[in-house]
């Protein structure tokens, strides 16, 4: 008899907070801005895919009104995201100027990991112009100083480029309102203000994003996700991360904390996780978990890297194979839960190592086990996690111009 009363109280609470007229106006404005931003993303995406492309072909390919395309193109030219190039003669003698992305606009990106960072220079097409590996220490200020030094060297080497901004992918969650790192159990940087430090040092706008969300943005920006509106991207490395695209929008949740599926309890009696809880999905399915499984089977063989264990498994080592099978089993079981909650069309798996078919088969089998209805999600390995995170970091720097970001900021 208690439950109905609780439910009534909740209803009253919801009714007690009517929307002010200003809120309705805000939503209306946000909705118009969102349409404009989505159209802008469509046009930019078509230019990226078809470049060099004429305005006429662009309007045809985008499905938008020529006047809409024309005004977006003018805006993109003004912002120098695109440039006009070759002139082509047509049968009617008209000479449309072809449009391309501006190769001169570049982004500095860093993929920060617990023990190292990779700093790169990318253009708007996601092409790598430079890439450097740097070791990091546990101290955030010293680690960031190293990153700043390398980024300044890159800038000095390329005086002809326009540096649009800096994007950083981090193994933690970022507070969307303050830009501060909120939770990064594998990094141990506390609440150091990464954004403010880098902006003061580099004099460029800096955007931070969680590694899984960054990888998902990379797929949206540079990848092959056209038409997909519901997807999950799983990153597998020292930890597990998930980025969620629901109905075409990146899910951020309260303060940007959504997506911590890695810390859902799978086994209350399991090992202690870096977050302090026991038996999280991460502590059972990450690369660290695979190394632990291997060490339990071969306690006398010393520490190994995940690539060494994979190489042993591929050369027929039974313990390495068993450790990776156990990891695959746990990855698949977590994906099964995730599918039950979100029912995505697509699950992308970004990992530092490519899981061979024999492990992907286990992951797929567990993910699809006892599906309640439908055919389940498509699982796609997108390979090199580092490339994804760097492209993602670049996409993060670009996303402040993007509908996905503005929509999340506005609503």
Binding interface with Zn ion (CB under 5 A):
263, 273, 275, 277, 280
Give CA–CA dist 210/380, Å, rounded. Answer: 21
339, with CB counted inside 10 A (0-12, 13-18, 19+), is buried
Give CA–CA dist 367/378, Å, rounded. Answer: 10
CB nearer to Zn ion: give 248 or 270.
Answer: 270
* Short-list 80, 78, 69, 79, CA closest to 45: 69
CB nearer to Zn ion: give 243 or 376.
Answer: 243
Distance in Å, CB of 278 to Zn ion, minimum: 8
CB nearer to Zn ion: give 201 or 277.
Answer: 277
Residue 181 CB-half CA count within 13 A: 27
Distance in Å, CB of 220 to Zn ion, minimum: 27
Give CA–CA dist 294/312, Å, rounded. Answer: 11
Distance in Å, CB of 301 to Zn ion, minimum: 27
CB nearer to Zn ion: give 262 or 377.
Answer: 262
Distance in Å, CB of 266 to Zn ion, minimum: 10
Give CA–CA dist 236/221, Å, rounded. Answer: 21
Alpha helices in 265-384 (DSSP H): 281-285, 287-297, 306-314, 318-342, 357-368
CB nearer to Zn ion: give 263 or 391.
Answer: 263
Give CA–CA dist 81/392, Å, rounded. Answer: 18
CB nearer to Zn ion: give 168 or 273.
Answer: 273
CB nearer to Zn ion: give 184 or 280.
Answer: 280
State the DSSP H helix or E strand holding residue 97, giving kind and residue range, or none if neither: strand 97-101
Cβ atoms < 10 Å from Cβ of 71: 15
Give CA–CA dist 68/142, Å, rounded. Answer: 48
Q: Report how far apart, in Å, the C-alpha atoms of 57 and of each of 53, 78, 392 are.
A: 6, 21, 29
CB nearer to Zn ion: give 100 or 274.
Answer: 274
Distance in Å, CB of 125 to Zn ion, minimum: 37
Cβ atoms < 10 Å from Cβ of 163: 19
Distance in Å, CB of 260 to Zn ion, minimum: 8
Distance in Å, CB of 214 to Zn ion, minimum: 20
Distance in Å, CB of 306 to Zn ion, minimum: 19
CB 163 within 8 A of CB 107: yes
């Amino acid at each position: 008899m208690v439950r109905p009363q609780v439910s009534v109280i909740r209803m009253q609470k919801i009714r007690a907070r009517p929307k002010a007229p200003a809120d309705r106006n805000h939503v209306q404005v946000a909705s118009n801005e969102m349409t404009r931003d989505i159209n802008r993303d469509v046009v930019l995406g078509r230019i990226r895919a078809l470049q060099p492309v004429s305005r006429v072909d662009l309007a045809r390919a985008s499905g938008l009104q020529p006047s809409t395309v024309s005004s977006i193109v003018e805006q993109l030219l003004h912002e120098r995201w695109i440039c006009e190039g070759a002139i082509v003669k047509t049968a009617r003698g008209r000479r449309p100027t072809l449009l391309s992305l501006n190769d001169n606009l570049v982004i500095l990106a860093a993929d920060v990991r617990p023990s190292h960072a990779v700093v790169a220079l990318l253009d708007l097409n996601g092409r790598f112009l430079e890439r450097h590996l740097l070791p990091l220490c546990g101290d955030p200020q010293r680690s960031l100083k190293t990153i700043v030094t390398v980024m300044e060297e890159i800038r000095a080497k390329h005086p002809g480029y326009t540096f649009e901004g800096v994007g950083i992918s981090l193994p933690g969650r970022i507070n969307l309102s303050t830009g501060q790192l909120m939770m990064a159990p594998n990094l141990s940087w506390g609440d150091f203000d990464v954004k403010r430090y880098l902006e003061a040092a580099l004099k460029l706008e800096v955007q931070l994003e969680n590694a899984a969300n960054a990888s998902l943005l990379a797929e949206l920006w540079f990848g092959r996700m056209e038409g997909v509106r519901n997807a999950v991207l799983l990153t597998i490395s020292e930890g597990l991360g998930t980025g969620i695209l629901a109905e075409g929008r990146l899910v951020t949740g309260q303060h940007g904390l959504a997506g911590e599926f890695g810390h859902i309890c799978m086994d209350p009696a399991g090992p202690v996780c870096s977050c302090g809880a026991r038996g999280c999905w991460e502590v059972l399915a990450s690369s660290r978990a695979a190394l632990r499984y291997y060490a339990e089977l071969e306690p006398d063989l010393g520490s190994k890297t995940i690539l060494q264990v994979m190489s042993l498994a591929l050369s027929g080592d039974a313990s390495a194979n068993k450790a990776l099978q156990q990891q695959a089993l746990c990855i698949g079981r977590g994906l099964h839960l995730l599918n039950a909650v979100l029912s995505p069309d697509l699950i992308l798996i970004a990992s530092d190592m490519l899981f061979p078919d024999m492990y992907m088969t286990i992951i797929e089998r567990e993910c699809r086990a006892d599906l309640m209805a439908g055919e389940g999600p498509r699982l796609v390995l997108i390979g090199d996690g580092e490339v994804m995170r760097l492209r993602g970091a670049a996409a993060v720097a670009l996303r402040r111009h993007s509908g996905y970001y503005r929509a999340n900021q506005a609503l």
